[in-house]
Structure 1
Amino acid sequence: MSLRSPLYSQRKPLLLVAGLLGAGFLIISLLGYHAANTSVRDHTLRMLYLNLLIGLLVTLAVLAILYQLISSYQRRIDAQATLDSLTELPNRRGFDLLAVQALHEAQREPQPLAALLLELDEFKRLDSTHGHIASDQLLTGFARDLTDSLRHSDIVCRWSGETFIVLLKDTDGQNGLKIAEKIRQRIEQQRYFCSGKELRVTVSIGLTTLQGEDTLHSLLSRTDHALQRARQTGNNRTCVQMPHSSYE
């Protein structure tokens, strides 16, 4: 999947045009300057080619500035396309890019990989009771605590609304369960101060591990089934859907 904007595709043609212009101007200028040197009397021709050379330098400077502007704009577009504006975590599109690479690496090695799907319990009730601003602050605080509970190598994103997803690299089911419980207990004990109010929240978690034949869809489908079981059996718990794994 590519996140490149149409502007990105213009950068190589822009550089090609700049290179051709530069080469053409340089050749003409050098030939003209050489020709002018053979006849000192032709001062006008000499000045003409000197002006062409100056024009070349100005053109290259303008193209360089334009290239930097396009690159900066492209970086902003990429960030907006792959990051959640509220939590600053990767969004669903950003997760897809990271997850495909993580699955490929884990299956190629092979290495264990655990997936967690987390959902804040009764979030809609909290939202209707305390308002959207408090809910946004709660989500931001939860995202921060979730990230702090993980390693830098792990992948975490805001999947949608109050749902988050985590890929734990080089982690089997047993260790994944320990991490999930550590997160769940931390959130249960945490206090969030949102819009002058102290809010408490719990989280339900679904867990599974990567299998050799898995696609991203099948992996996430199992985490979703595990999460639904956690919600149906009372919330604030971790449920596991763990097929046979060679890593355990």
Structure 2
Amino acid sequence: MSLRSPLYSPRSPMLVLAILLSAGFLATSLLGYYAASTLLRDTILKALYLNLLIGLLVTVAVLALLYRLVVSYQRRIDAQAILDGLTELPNRRGFDLLAVQALHEAQREPKPLSALLLEVDNFKQLDSTHGHIASDQLLSGFARDLTDNVRHSDIVCRWSADAFALLLKDTDGQNGLKIAEKIRQRIEQQRYFCSGKQLRVTISIGLTTLQDEDTLHSLLSRADHALQRARQTGSNRTCVEMPHSSYE
């Protein structure tokens, strides 16, 4: 998803530049015309029209190229603002934008929605033992496996250094639990080759479902509380938080 900044539009500077270039060219040509003798004016006038046409075409071509460059640059800036550089998943800012819309659609229909928070178990220990490069490779591989196990319509983001958030659209708690366990078991069986080393990891998952009165904050608060219970009760498991519990 590409989000354009509402505070910036490349059209305005392009228009100003076009006006300035055209005005400057026209002023220069007119000065040359009036400075010439009467006998040369007819010839100069024809040349003036031709030069104006050529100048206009060149100006349009240059502005079109500049516009494309500005738009491309703006898109890269927008992408960097909402995407995580390592995993290329949405970051928390990008997730907030997508999640608010998903919640609104689910509550308006209404349709079920499940929220998961996933955390790599003992990640700090893995990082200190194998190094940052291996940890980054591990997270990149984990992100790919995570997206491979959900639908294109679902929302996945990197929530923090070792945690990921997932919204499952049109998914109730029972089916959400099945998906969570499928992901957990897949990661447990996976082997990650990082910096010449073979790493195995497990994950803990907190799961909850959307309720009519939920905000994004209350929904994720329940999922986070479920994740903490999963970590405190041994890790490598999925815990479900009751929908009407409140952990603000």
Q: Could you state the TM-score of these two structures normalised by the residue count of structure 1?
A: 0.85
Aligned: 1:240 with 2:227? no
Q: CA deviation at 1:4?
A: 4.0
- Output the CA distance in 1 between the equivalents of 2:58 and 2:198: 60
- Output the CA distance in 2 between the equivalents of 1:18 and 1:105: 43
3-state DSSP class of the match of 2:159?
A: strand
Correspondence list, 1:116-135, <5 A: 116-135=116-135
Cα contact 1:3–1:81 (8 A) shared by 2: no
Identify the residue that residue 226 of structure 1 maps to in structure 2: 226
Q: CA deviation at 1:93?
A: 1.3
3-state DSSP class of the match of 2:110?
A: coil
Correspondence list, 1:12-31, <5 A: 12-14=11-13, 16-17=15-16
Q: CA deviation at 1:24?
A: 9.0
Identify the residue that residue 213 of structure 1 maps to in structure 2: 213
Identify the residue that residue 56 of structure 2 maps to in structure 1: 56
Percent identical among aligned pairs is: 80
Identify the residue that residue 9 of structure 1 maps to in structure 2: 8
- Output the CA distance in 1 between the equivalents of 2:77 and 2:87: 17
Aligned: 1:159 with 2:138? no
3-state DSSP class of the match of 1:160?
A: coil
Q: Once the two structures are superposed, what CA deviation does each residue of 1:131-183 show, in whole Å capped at 9, x if it has no partner? A: 11111111111111111111111110111101000000000001001100111
Identify the residue that residue 101 of structure 2 maps to in structure 1: 101
- Output the CA distance in 2 between the equivalents of 1:79 and 1:57: 33
In the alignment, structure 2 segments of 5+ residues that lack a partner are 25-40
- Output the CA distance in 1 between the equivalents of 2:9 and 2:156: 33
- Output the CA distance in 2 between the equivalents of 1:192 and 1:22: 58
3-state DSSP class of the match of 1:51?
A: helix
Q: Once the two structures are superposed, what CA deviation does each residue of 1:220-247 show, in whole Å capped at 9, x if it has no partner? A: 1111111011111111111111225xxx
- Output the CA distance in 2 between the equivalents of 1:62 and 1:15: 10
Identify the residue that residue 29 of structure 1 maps to in structure 2: none
Runs of 4+ in 1 over 6 A off after TM superposition: 18-25
Cα contact 1:5–1:77 (8 A) shared by 2: no
Cα contact 1:206–1:224 (8 A) shared by 2: yes
- Output the CA distance in 2 between the equivalents of 1:10 and 1:146: 36
Letter of the 2:97 partner, please give it: L
